[in-house]
Amino acid sequence: MPPRSDEPRRDATGSRRGSSRGAEPREPGIGGISDARAYTPRGRTIREGGAEQRRTPRSSRSGDPFRPALQVVDGGRAARAGRREPATAGESARAGRRTAGGRAGVVRTVSARPVHEPFDDEDDPPPRRRPGPRRPAARRPVRKPRRPPRLGDPRRRLRLATVLALTLFASIGVRLVYLQTADSPAYADGGLPNRVKVIELPAPRGAILDRDGEPLAHSVEARYVFADPTRVKDRNATASALSPLLGVPASELADKMQRRKQPGTTRDTEFVYLARGVEMGTAKQIVALDLAGIGVHRDERREVPGGDLAANMIGFVSQDMNGLEGLEAKYDDLLRGQPGKRTYEAGLGDLAAPIPGGFSSTTQPKPGSSLQLTVDRDLQFMTQRILAKQVAQAKGSVAAAVILDVPTGEVLAQASQPTYDAADPTKVNSPADRDDAATSFVVDPGSIHKAITFGAALQEGVITPNSTFPVPNTMVLGGVPFEDTHHADGRVMSIPGMLAFSSNIGTIEVAGKLGKDRLIDYQKRFGLGQPTGEGLPGEASGRLLPADEWSGSSYGSVPIGHSVDATPLQMAAAYNAIANNGTYVQPHLIKETIGPDGARTPSAAPATHSVLSPANAAALRRMLEAVTTVDGPDGRATGLAAAVPGYRVAGKTGTGLRYDNGKKQPGEVGSFIGMAPAEKPRYVVAVFVWSPDGEGGAVAAPAFREMMGFTLRHYRVPPSLTDKSPKFEVFPR
């Protein structure tokens, strides 16, 4: 190994490099801290070649505790490298260039600010080489220092967490808004059946009043008793406790309280009626029993103070207050009103009570309007009583009675027999017992139709009140024989005589002079062949025989009241036209309606039209008086039993037939229709009695007498003292 040179090494510029402390040579092979290169805290070297070293300011030095040791080690390398001598001049030059060119740990000063280059990591000095040609040392690759791992930025984490939280809350908020707006109706409706209760508030049904405002039918507050079978603990014991109070057999109540499924569902029935229209006192007793699953609630009960008073005309209602027959059915919409309801949120189970502050809505019920009829309650009562008494003599009979106010056409009474109790309409022998006979009882009117024939003949001038002509005992038309019960034997008869003896032959001869077309025309004018429009549902229209359907016998049957279908009310209205100076007035029952607020609305004025002139109507009335007055050597009139003492009465008896569904029924229909006082009629009374044994004729006239007498006295009509009935000649000479 060549000896080390003690001379200071030179850099590439030829400048001598030595110790930073002085120029004294150092001992060969020994390197100290003074020969090591000093580092700044940032790893920068102090410029070499100067007399003094530059030091980095203390404020910029690194606080690394291992920095001085690294400087010592690196300085040792530099000292050892500085003592080497190149073997040749080329090596010396290359060595100088390496020294100046920047071996590991050397700073090349390019600018005022030195740039630190990485130094060699190798700690031990390179091994010594033997003398000989030296190869240039291979440049080792420069390694970049490993950077320490970057720590997480807390501000970045905070921002990320904030964004995630806001996103979560925003998603929840959007979902809540969607549920509250778009989906809220569906979810709300889904829960309604569980928490919303609806209670119907029944509207009080309007009353039916008589002409003086007295109730014929009205509603009163009551209670209904119900059961929840799912909550009834012992249905047999419960039924036994309720039976004496409700008047219902315990077995029937127990059967109602048995658990059942609702139709079409799997849920148990939670409501069943036990009784309707229970009186308030009875309901209080049931509440006091405190039976599990049994409750009471507001209800309505229809009361009919008169029982059967005008029952066939008024009709009745169901337990739900729906009209089923009569006026109750015809004017159901007006009487029923509009029910209200209460809707509220309630708890479940034992807390099934309104939720405080929960949803609650109440629609108040609107009571129904009331009907005020033209019927007089007292007169109706007496009419029914008289009719029932007279009809009792003819078993199995059907009867009807109508009383009309002449100038107005108002129905003052309208009775039927049999009748029923409207408060308990199920207790009847037959549903037909509930029919209103005055409007549904269709008959061949018989001889009472003769007044229409004679009235048409007077109006058309075919006859006069003084007309007379011979009347034979019999007549054959179309192969059918017609005869009189009072034989005239071909003698000349007066028109009043024909009416008094109810001559069929005389009437047929008058109709022959009139003609069928004119007779049919007057039948229509008197109101036959069409409903009167009185106000009751199901009113029969009757039937007239069209002219093209007349046979040979029709010329004899139609004038005397056969081959004609009519109701008692139609015939009463026809006689009312005679009593009203020839003007037909539509009979009607409804006087006015009374709203819930008390406002009164009169019914429409009845339809009227002229049938006879006042003179002809008066002449016909005078001739009809013969029916109740003629009683002499020539015979007795057919209507003497209908005479009312103290009053002039004009009327006509009749014997007709009854048809049911087009089939003739056995027996006869006896009738009498009359008016009083005859000089100026105030009232018309019609009585019809059908009896399978033919006893109606003996009943109708006496019933008329009693009804008309009571009516005249009830309305205080003065007796006919100054204007007595005229004297009639049946067979003038």
- Which residue type occupies 442? V
Q: Does residue 105 surpass a pLDDT of 50? A: no
Tally of CB atoms within 10 A around 387: 26
Per-residue model confidence (pLDDT) at position 100:
43
Whether residue 21 has pLDDT greater than 60: no
Confidence label for 375 from pLDDT (cuts 50, 70 and 90):
very high
Q: Give me the pLDDT at residue 98, please.
A: 46
pLDDT band at 503 (very low <50, low <70, confident <90, very high): very high
Q: What is the mean pLDDT of residues 358-383?
A: 92
pLDDT at 88: 47
pLDDT, average across residues 505-533: 95
Q: Could you give all domains of the chain from N- to C-terminal order, each with its CATH number?
A: 200-373 (3.90.1310.10), 378-421+432-589+605-715 (3.40.710.10)
Tokens read off for 400: 């009807």
Residue 368 has a pLDDT of: 93
- pLDDT for res 648: 95
- Choice among 20, 369, 416, 447 that is catalytic: 447
What span, in angstroms and rounded, lies between the C-alpha atoms of 570 and 527?
6
- Between the alpha carbon of residue 213 and those of residues 207, 316, 333, 509, the distances in Å are 10, 19, 21, 51
Q: How far is CA 42 from CA 48, 52, 104, 635, in A?
A: 17, 20, 16, 165
- Of 70-79, 109-118, 229-238, the one with minimum mean pLDDT is 109-118
Q: Would you place residue 65 in the very low, low, confident or very high pLDDT band (cuts 50, 70, 90)?
A: low
Statement: residue 84 has pLDDT above 80:
no
- Is 447 an annotated catalytic residue? yes
Residue-level pLDDT at 726 = 83
Percent of the chain residues past pLDDT 70, beyond the cut: 78
Q: Of 121, 714, 114, which Cα lies nearest the Cα of 386?
A: 714
Q: Tell me the mean pLDDT in the region 23-27.
A: 45
Q: Span 704-732, mean pLDDT? A: 89
Cα–Cα dist 272/264, whole Å:
17
Q: pLDDT for 596-629, tens place per residue? A: 999 999 999 999 999 999 999 999 999 999 999 9
**Which phi and psi (to 5°) does residue 416 adopt?**
-135, 150
pLDDT given for residue 130 in this prediction: 57
Query: Which residues lie closer than 8 Å to 370 by C-beta, 6 or more apart?
Result: 206, 207, 208, 209, 335, 593, 594
| 295 φψ region: left (φ > 0), alpha (ψ -120 to 50), beta (else) | beta
- Per-residue pLDDT reduced to its tens digit, 291-321: 998 999 888 889 999 999 999 999 999 988 8
* Rounded Cα gap, residues 156 and 346, in angstroms: 53
pLDDT band per the 50, 70, 90 thresholds, residue 157: confident
What distances in angstroms separate CA 649 from CA 452, 669, 685, one per listed residue? 18, 22, 11
pLDDT digits (tens, 9 = 90+) for 407-459: 999 999 999 999 999 888 988 888 889 999 999 999 999 999 999 999 999 99
Higher pLDDT, 189 or 614: 614
For the beta sheet containing 196-201, the strands, ordered from the edge strand earlier in sequence to the opposite edge, are 196-201, 340-345, 360-363
